[in-house]
Chains A and B, each alone.
Chain A
Amino acid sequence: MPQRIDGSGETLRFTFEGREIAARAGDTIAAALIAAGETTTRASVVSGAPRGPFCMMGVCFECLVEVDGVPNRQACMIEAAAGMTVNRQKADEVAA
């Protein structure tokens, strides 16, 4: 399981697939999800296979999620904010 090594940052909460996630101020959505044990962020638009954050620096686009209703957001580039509604990007929402 992932662990936090220090107590830096205030705690804030957002939801992911309806589950409440505790994040620290400054966490990206992807970091907060990984810290909470959630490694699957989207389904492949080609095969539907599960995918998760890979590069954490905005180049691989594997961590695409829907943030407050807007699809195709990079979870590793957006800082978590209190009250955000985050959902996995599902293949059937974006693919034929």
Chain B
Amino acid sequence: MKSYDVVVIGAGPAGMAAAVETSRAGLSTLVLDEQQRPGGQIYRDIEASDATRRGILGQDYQSGADLAAALRGSTAEYLPGAVVWNIDSAKQIDFSVRGGSQSVKAAHIVVATGAIERPTPMPGWTLPGVTTVGAVQILLKTSGVVLEDLVMVGSGPLLWLAATQMIAAGTPPKAIVETVPKARYRAAAKHLARAIPGWRYLAKGFAMIRAVKRAGVPVHRDAEEIAIDGVVAAEAVSFTSDGRRHRIETAHVALHQGVVPNQQITRLMNCEHRFDAGQRAFLPVVDASFETSVENVFVAGDGAGIGGARAAAMRGRLVAMRIAEKAGKPATDGREKLEAALRRDAAVRPLLEALYAPSEDVLSPADGTLVCRCEEITAGQIREAVALGAPGPNQVKSFLRAGMGPCQGRMCGLAVSEIIAAAKGEEPSSVDYYRIRPPLKPLLLSELAAFEPGEAPRAAAE
């Protein structure tokens, strides 16, 4: 079995930056990424994107091109289309490429699997035509496809960014239905002074909101009781705003309530996690160099807590410096500078977290709302299981099959922890999260049967 000093999982900004740096330090580095080209979701298809697309997607998107070029130019081995499905405690990584599985060993692992969008359970969210806001951006980045009559629902910077990109592409959204309660603006304003070092983000934010206004996109504020209507596909979005019920007809709805760390790998590896009240999400516990509670396993980028693409790349470099140091390589300059830049970059976060905290609607969905999309388990069923005495997400999973479908809990996990916590009058930190079991992504039985991890199998049961 091949061994590497460093295996980086994920080729977004954090993974690319980390791999460039570790390979530069002379460490053998392998990058495994599920996508066919580097960039992650934020810089998705950055290499293939032409001038028109880059113009629409904006300056920040373009900055990913340098990182991708640096990865291509580095000595790191880059393996696209590689789906990691297990990592054991000896840091053997099993992954699937083109229908066959193989394994490598890593001295250090950099988990750079970034963020996923927060689950947004609401009536009708499983109807065809309803996607995440991230999905809309990915369509634009990878295929130059824009949806007419798109209604965007929720809150968060990504929603406004995607809206301005749609406008730049000549197809403004039909409406934005924002779920930020009015009182939140005042609460968020308290963080304004501290956010000043992040003025670039603030300026960009205001510019985006202005652009939406200029384009004449109707913005419905303080929306609640949102439902997507339709029988076999989305037909309309209904909601309450300004004291009355609205209904906007559309076949395309994009939902967003912020992004949260993708915990699958760190949970699988039994890294310690904590619930962060500000981000309203579970984060792996990491030290100043983003090393987890499992030695030599690092989390670079949004996976260690949401910080955005710029911070992700900086964290990736910091992780790489620490690994090089642990591996006995000469120290690199610039660590303090990088840490200071990261602190400045994070200044805007408390304001964003306060303003764009997930809406109550998705944190405590009505009893009839589907929470687990795969197994079609409702919020009410989860509450009933708690009433029967099921103490946490794993028991609810065993009892109801919530989180047992092919998405393996990615689309319901946080919501299930929140619902159980609320039903018990506790915090999500005490009810915790699903235990994550391999394979991390579904695997053909025939592929497992043909799996040769490169080591003699352990003696059979007797």
A interface list, Cβ under 8 A from B: 1-6, 8, 24, 26-28, 31-32, 34-35, 39-41, 44-47, 49-62, 64, 70, 72, 76-77, 79
Contacts and interface: CB of A to CB of B under 8 A. Distances in A.
Interface in B89-139: 116-117, 126-132, 134-135, 138-139
Contact of A52 (B50, B128, B134, B142): B128
Contact of B233 (A1, A50, A77, A79): A50
Contact of A8 (B50, B56, B375): B50
Given A31-B145, A39-B233, A50-B233, A59 B407 contact: yes
Given A50-B233, A51-B128, A3 B171 contact: yes
Interface string B142-155: 11111110000000
B45 interface: yes
B135 A8 contact: no
Contact of A55 (B50, B52, B135): B135
Contacts of B50: 6, 8
A76 B52 CA distance: 23
A45 B404 CA distance: 13
Contacts of A24: 143-144
A2 B147 CA distance: 4
A55 to B, nearest CB: 5
Contacts, number: 133
Contact of A79 (B36, B373, B376): B36
B232 A46 contact: no
B20 to A, nearest CB: 23
B186 to A, nearest CB: 33
Nearest to B52: A6
- Interface majority SS (helix, strand, loop, mixed), chain A: loop
A4 B52 CA distance: 12
Given A3-B171, A26-B45, A44-B376, A57 B135 contact: yes
Between A5, A47, A49, A76, the greatest number of chain B beta carbons within 10 A of the residue's beta carbon is seen for A5
B48 A51 contact: no
Nearest to B234: A39
A49 B137 CA distance: 26
Nearest to A44: B376
Interface string B413-444: 00000000000000000000000000001101
Contacts of B262: 59
A54 B130 CA distance: 6
Interface of B: 34, 36, 41, 45, 48, 50, 52-53, 56, 116-117, 126-132, 134-135, 138-140, 142-148, 169-171, 232-233, 251, 262, 373-376, 405-407, 410-411, 441-442, 444
Nearest to A1: B148
Given A6-B50, A35-B145, A59 B411 contact: yes
A6 B50 CA distance: 9
Contacts of A3: 145-146, 148, 171
Contact of A54 (B45, B53, B132, B376): B132
A52 to B, nearest CB: 3
A70 B163 CA distance: 37
Nearest to A77: B34
Contacts of A70: 444
A62 B232 contact: no
B183 to A, nearest CB: 31
B407 A50 contact: no
A72 B144 contact: no
B130 A57 contact: no
B411 A60 contact: yes
A76 B145 CA distance: 14
A56 B147 contact: no
A9 to B, nearest CB: 8
Contacts of A27: 142-143
6 contacts: A4-B145, A5-B145, A31-B142, A35-B139, A56-B132, A56-B138
